[in-house]
Amino acid sequence: MSLPQTPNQRLDGKRALVTGASQGIGLAAACALAQAGAAVTLVARSQDKLDTVVSALQGAGLAAQALALDVNDQAVIERHLSHQTFDILVNNAGTNRPKPLGEVSADDYTAVMELNVRASYFLTQAVVATMPAGGSVINISSQMGHVGAANRSLYCASKAAIEGMTRAMAVELGPHGIRVNSVCPTFIETPMTQPYFAEPDFRESVIAKIPLGRLGQIEDIMGPVVFLASPAAGLVTGSALMVDGGWTAH
């Protein structure tokens, strides 16, 4: 009898591009992909922060390089990426400006939607133009793309857009052998969220909505990213992988 073999989650020989990779979830995704064998290009605006991370990765014997640019600048993206080929893209760069609906300004709207949606859309457009069959696009979305929350109408709108974009791109790119999925974390402790969790009442209110009873850590994102990038997820596309401790199960 010939037994089926579990597809591995190694990424040796693959090239990956990760945005917002100098800290938090993006840094974790870049580390996870590099540890799985991929050669990773880390993108962020700060050259100094990128150099620190890349130096640490290279010091651990991993393949990594820095690319400092603003993902909102489409012309710069095209100039730097048009001649490169990546097997994996992680759209992670994003922002949030939590405010009551009545206090959200046009500037808030532009800042959040430009980075969370527009940048991801056009970066994907640029990268998949040369992405080979077997490629994987991973959009870092949020549980907030599936539920609502007070003071987060703008953020929820941006992540719901990412979810729709993910499904539509999966349909369009499937015939080319390219998979597109999203990872939807709950609240993760990162430098961006740390100020919010310094308020005990807010921290407790968040944890109360997570059945597993704890906040997410960046390490919780690493396994899902490697899975979706790897042959182990060969038939997974157009899906939202919830990494939310059960928040959306309510």
Determine contact, residues 54/66, Cβ cutoff 8 Å.
yes
Q: For residues 164, 145, 226 and 249, what is the CA-based torsion angle, rounded to 10 degrees?
A: -120
Torsion-angle region of residue 29: left (phi > 0), alpha (psi -120 to 50) or beta? alpha
Q: Which two tokens stand for residue 110?
A: 């532009």
| CA dist list (Å): 94 to 50, 90, 120, 155, 166 | 17, 12, 9, 10, 16
155 annotated active-site? yes
Instruction: Please give the backbone phi and psi of residue 174, each rounded to the nearest 5 degrees, phi first.
Output: -55, -45
Catalytic residues: 155
